[in-house]
Structure 1
């Protein structure tokens, strides 16, 4: 549920309030070791929970002197997450009974933030400057329930009422130049963060996962980007082209680590000291004839940990040597045909192909979780539709992965604790019918 209320104070200033409320109930289960044996699964009780969030944001936005566009405001949210998860590990009955583990608790997160951002027109042709900042205070608390495994088998080091407060400043600066009506050049830099917290499955000990406990620090990312956007004509043909090159520096990268901690199998979140991500992105399209659009995109990403030795509570040092879920090369190409059938009906046929190179699904694939590499793949999809723009309806038939390619989208690197990894397969050939009506 959401509500947006705006009040125009003058022709150059508006005050706006955005209120939101979300309640989400979920239930599910999973089998994680990928074998016909009971290595690791949720069991019959599965994983259930309720997430609630209430938020409010008050904004003041407008223009000063015809040159400065600005927005300033404050934000508050209160979120609770009650989740109960069961784990059945090494179920080898009747040879040996399984290890049953219950994780049950309530997260409470309160966020307070103030921000301001402005874009100033320098009065030169198309040249603008942008600057903004946001200061956030996030308070998080995790209280475990009475049937939680760590509560029923406590150790003296456990803290069942974990609390932490994280304070961070985020900012953005940039310059853009509308060189011509067709070409925009820009440069920008940003700093943002992902809040810290407590790992649901880690032992509730005091301190951070890198040293002694179940907490983890905020992750901070700073980037710089140069780019160009073109929308115009080459000869007589409509062309769109976007190019961007960027570099990102990340500190305290949040990564999961699977280990045996204080006698329990656990997933603990640790902070890898530093990483660097460099990349180039290109996308564009061209209309060689009025009824045909050809387009595509290509991405090059070089992601690596630059300071990668991590102390893990109750375990030897770990070397984080592969950056997961990030293929070095990825790209797509498409062709779209749009043909009028009558005065009101338009037929549309689109074919596209997506491809990527190999990637890893573990941060320690070369040291602790060998085999956590999935090969590259290519997928071909088709879509044929018919629509009435005036009446606002459309009907389409969709075929995904038409060649039924076997591929994997990710996985879990369990080799450190189970001597095996689990890879997650992608969707097989799929046929869909889509219907849409606007009213």
Structure 2
């Protein structure tokens, strides 16, 4: 899908230029990927005294996915689709978490303190038994052979179109030895916060968190080899304030938060392993909140600036090696409006703008908007009216929509830009509520808009019109 070839605009720059048939799946209904999940959550609360209480949260989730996971790649100047299949038997994900919190509400002198002291244990286990269906076709862009199932034409007839089916996949899997891998990650965290009120109209918040991450790496049972183990410790503080300019009506708020993301070691071309520090982000946010007494208008406006440092990038002196001095920023504004002008009528609207740029990166991307940063513009709106009296009491009618701006999937100086097209979706709901039940009829994408959304280098066709009937019982 790279729009540029030798610096000349050759390929499509958005999904609308790919000439894909929205109703053509390029697969077979027998090719399935099934996921089952079991989730448990529990909470234990104790009142320790008039000032302190304890809360213990327990969570575990287990999911298993079986079947054939399909992805597709455009080739031959977007005239063909390379179909790729990975068979999972199975793919498993286990999440386990124990969180202990102690919450206090106390005073020192005339200052009120709302204290939170906590510890968190999190364990993540990811396992796969997987097989890729090999092929011998080469990637047209760079000649690299990649695992593929086959290649079919985007438009018109193809004698191989029906070849991608469960029976053919199973026959190709015969005699293949799957790769069996397992990754385990644990994180132990300690955190504390204190919200104080020095004066009636001023609220201050101070908090800090430290995380100890231990990644045991990935174990390949087929080769009996461990790779990628690493440990990291990260500390992040947060401070904030809220000041009521007009008590119960207009408030000013501001905050600073430091966050982090752990970065795994990278094996380099010379055989060495580069170990990195966590990637840090510093976020500043400020804004205003307004609430009218009778809720004719509730509004909030926030401005934020996020600076990310310590990102890993290719070394400009030696592109086969990696260094950790990349940087980028993300800044923007968000506006949220709500209104209840009369009994039963509710309006809501939101608008968000984001500007992101890579400020320290390789020469091919520096100064550009990073991929996976989402659209620059998004908005949503919704109106709902509930009949409060008369023979129609209990009926509710809602209508709303969402706008999504274009989202970069490819954005480099050498390959050009490929982005999803901007789109707007409209939804509606009709419901009837009584004390014992709620019956709803909802429509998503009611105007049957064709659209593609993106992320992580892929585009995915969105759902067309859906009509859903639901019944909720209040026991």
User: TM-score per shorter chain, which class?
Assistant: 0.7 to 0.9
**2:241 matches 1:175:** yes
The structural deviation recorded for 1:143 is 2.9
Partner of 2:229: helix, strand, or coil? strand
Superposed displacement of residue 435, structure 1: 1.9
**2:84 corresponds to which of 36, 41, 46:** 41
2:398: which partner in 1? 350
- Post-superposition offset of 1:372: 2.4
SS at match of 1:289: coil
Counterpart selection for 1:323 from 349, 363, 370: 370
1:127 pairs with 2:127: no
Matched, 1:184 2:251: yes
Distance 1:255 1:374 in 2: 26
CA distance in 2, matches of 1:411, 1:186: 33
Give the superposition deviation at 1:172: 0.8
2:416 is aligned with 1:377: no
Deviation (angstroms), 1:374: 1.1
Partner residue in 2 for 1:15:
54
- CA gap of 1:82–1:368, structure 2 versus 1, over 3 A, is farther
Q: 1:255: Cα distance to partner?
A: 9.5
Work out the CA distance in 2 between the residues paired with 1:223 and 1:347.
Answer: 44
TM-score by length of 1: 0.78
Higher relative contact order (CA 8 A, sep 6+): 2
Which residue pairs with 1:240 in the alignment?
298
Q: Is 1:55 paired with 2:83?
A: no
The question of whether the paired residues in 2 share the 8 Å contact of 1:309 and 1:320 is answered with: no
CA distance in 1, matches of 2:431, 2:348: 19
User: Which residue pairs with 2:132 in the alignment?
Assistant: 87
- Extract unaligned runs of 5+ from structure 1: 153-158, 199-204, 257-261, 263-268, 311-316, 414-421
Paired with 1:107 and 1:184, the residues of 2 have a C-alpha distance of: 47
Superposition pairs of residues 63-74 of structure 1, within 5 angstroms: 63-65=105-107, 67-74=112-119
CA contact (8 A) 2:73 2:81 kept: no
Distance 2:256 2:368 in 1: 27
Map 1:206-221; keep pairs closer than 5 Å: 206=267, 218-221=278-281
Distance in 1 between residues matched to 2:448 and 2:66, nearest whole Å: 30
Q: Name 2:181's counterpart in structure 1.
A: 105
* Number of the residue aligned with 2:383: 335
CA distance in 2, matches of 1:210, 1:355: 47
1:26 to 53, 59, 65: 65
Q: Distance in 1 between matches of 2:418 and 2:187?
A: 36
Match of 1:259 in 2: none
Q: How does 1:148-159 map to 2 (within 5 A)?
A: 151=223
- After superposing on structure 2, the runs of 4+ consecutive aligned residues of structure 1 that deviate more than 4 Å are 34-38, 92-95, 98-103, 209-217, 253-256, 269-272, 317-320, 341-345
Superposed displacement of residue 32, structure 1: 1.6
Show CA shifts across 1:283-335 (max 9, x none).
Answer: 1122333232222111111011111218xxxxxx8768332242111111222
